[in-house]
Amino acid sequence: MDVLSDAITAMRTGRPHSSRTHLPAPWGMRFAASEGAGFHVILEGSCWLLPPAGDPLALAPGDVVFLPHGRGHGIADHPATPLVEVVEARDGSWVPTEDAAPGTGPATTVLCGSYRLNRARAHPLLTGLPDVVHMPARIGVHPDLRAAVHLLGSELEQPGPGSDAAVPALLDTLLVYILRSWLHDQARNAAGGWAAALSDQAVADALHAIHHDPAHPWTVAELGARAGMSRAAFARRFAAVVGQPPLAYLTWWRMTTAGRLLTSGDAPLRSIARQCGYSSEFAFAKAFSRVFGTPPGTYRRTHATAPGPPAHEGVELGAGVPG
């Protein structure tokens, strides 16, 4: 597993959902804060994103916006249009809290979706994202992201055999391409944070080694040797880029992996202990309790992953609003 895939896997829970909606102006929707993350893709027309802080952001056809922290936002045909609060229905769609007459002005077609996240052990790669990740449409830039948007939009517009399997897979693919595109842009612009960590060969090699085999008894010297660096030089470089020392990150990732394994399957504790680098179930339970404040068995019983909502819902204006 690579670092980006692991970061997503560690936080994702339940099933994502999405829908494609045609919205004649005037229209406006307000999404309350949540534990999840959401996105909007403008397929046709234009609109405005109204973030929780800062100026409204104009969106044009092909633009992608990702809101990773669930802090709430609005989206409307114009910044001055009143917003109608929307709430999540049991099937995973979003419905308005009050009736609104359909508009008669220029229409916007929006592809919206959301992901359910467990923020208890949020990976710093994702927590370090800005409140709004805006990927404006540019010819020839991020073709993989554009291809994923096209496939998802087509599947939602004209569902066919296998759509219930295709849509969640495409949603997960879209999330990867959004984050990959953002990291690529940040690295190209010489930004810091995790974009720098994944583009720094020495640090990236160490991160991949830790994620590939968290059970290995890694030492700082061994990780540094993989990069051809001394122990001290590597430790300074890793801490400066990642934000914590190598072995502190290793322990954090082992415990994060343990929490995910406990809630996503029924593997025995001794097996999870070995996968997370502990020679005995007792040592693992002691370390886990110190971090989570509860024994692993209790944690498993109280945090079992619940099934998510349907992956998508066909929505018509006035019958429900996607989010």
In three state form, how does the secondary structure of 131-191 look? CCEEECCCCCCCHHHHHHHHHHHHHHHCCCCCHHHHHHHHHHHHHHHHHHHHHHHHHHCCC
Please report the domains of the chain, with CATH numbers, ordered by start residue: 3-188 (2.60.120.280), 195-302 (1.10.10.60)
Nearest to 86, CA basis, from 310, 317, 308: 317
pLDDT in tens, the chain (323 residues): 589 999 998 888 778 888 888 899 999 999 988 888 999 999 999 999 999 888 999 999 999 999 999 889 999 999 999 999 987 776 656 677 787 777 889 999 999 888 988 888 789 999 889 999 999 998 888 999 999 999 999 998 899 999 989 999 999 999 999 999 999 999 888 777 888 899 899 999 999 999 999 999 999 999 999 888 999 999 999 999 999 999 999 999 999 999 999 988 889 999 999 999 999 999 999 999 999 999 999 999 988 754 444 444 433 333 233 33
Helix pair angle (231-242, 246-264), 10° resolution: 60
Confidence (pTM): 0.85
Number of neighbouring beta carbons within 10 Å of residue 109: 17
Q: Which residue has the tokens 């079992």?
A: 304
Q: What's the CA gap between 138 and 135, in Å, rounded? A: 9
